[in-house]
Amino acid sequence: MEKDIVPVAELDCIGLFCPIPIARTKEEIDKIEVGQILKVEADDPAAEEDIKRWAKRVGHEVVKLEKSGNVIVFWIKRKK
């Protein structure tokens, strides 16, 4: 499954801090179709919990999360 995760859009939030990564993620996920994947990169320490909580609250799914140094990469599946 993991190698089948292909994002249709990518969002770079490196250097941006709360609430900008969530606001931009919401804007971008609204542009893709249900079932598609948005890849988001962020380095805000709060982004990991903020984006996971936001996705769960609004009904999307974080299908993969990777950390490399201070960068967190999310693959978010649009569910509705």
Nearest to 14 by CA among 58, 80, 57, 73: 73
Spatial CB neighbours of 32, under 8 Å, sequence gap ≥ 6: 8, 9, 38, 78
**pLDDT tens, position by position, 26-48:** 999 999 999 999 999 999 999 99
Task: Say whether 18 is catalytic.
Answer: yes
Among 18, 23, 46, 58, the active-site one is 18
Domains and CATH numbers, the chain: 2-77 (3.30.110.40)
| pLDDT for the residue 2 | 53
Say how many residues make up the chain: 80
| pLDDT for the residue 3 | 62
Q: Is the peptide bond preceding residue 19 cis, with omega within 30 degrees of 0?
A: yes
